[in-house]
Structure 1
């Protein structure tokens, strides 16, 4: 006989062997929801960038070598974004300086 427990999200009775709640559809086991799968982490990385890194290491679905690969890729993405934003900042500074000085410099 299967035990009955309650869903931590909607508090309805669910079977002890269930992985997902049949009422709210959320995962009953931490680290096994959509955002902890490969496709969920890729989607989160596209939206959050390197801030998706905790999802990688909390996942119970992804293997350890895959976690290290995701970590390396997300850190490289973070460095690339930091450099790109720095160059954009310098470009905006130069454009502001040109506008304040009255236009293009003469040769």
Structure 2
């Protein structure tokens, strides 16, 4: 028997994960399972795809994610809104240019 380095409870010598606190004893296993216990819609990959697909509409996924700190949530929200505003302005400018091109073609 050995003690868990996280909760100090007695565990088996061959244990990979503590049965009391749920922490992996092997550091590489801990890195691989960072999002393993999270629901599918809170996993990092899904949130990144959602932000790239629907932009600000995916912000609730960030705000309801339990293991993300408040400063990260605020920073990601600001970055998403700034990037979305930039894309909106670029789309507006493209529409103006397209309208101008159509006006020029109509005049020929």
TM bucket (normalised to shorter chain) is 0.5 to 0.7
Structure with the higher fraction of residues in helix conformation: 2
Number of residue pairs aligned between Structure 1 and Structure 2: 72
Question: Deviating runs (4+, > 6 A) in structure 1?
Answer: none
Q: Which residue of 2 aligns with 1:77?
A: 83
Listed as ranges, the gaps of 5+ residues in structure 1 are 1-28, 103-107
1:91 and 1:33 map into 2 onto residues whose CA distance is 44
Listed as ranges, the gaps of 5+ residues in structure 2 are 1-36
- Secondary structure of 1:70's aligned partner: helix
Which structure is richer in relative contact order (CA contacts within 8 A, separation 6 or more)?
1
> Is the 8 Å Cα contact of residues 38 and 62 (structure 1) preserved in structure 2?
no
Q: 1:97 aligned to 85, 94, 103, which one? A: 103
Normalising by the residue count of structure 1, what TM-score does the alignment of the two structures yield?
0.60
RMSD: 1.7
Task: Judge which range, 47-56 or 83-92, deviates more.
Answer: 47-56
Normalising by the residue count of structure 2, what TM-score does the alignment of the two structures yield?
0.59
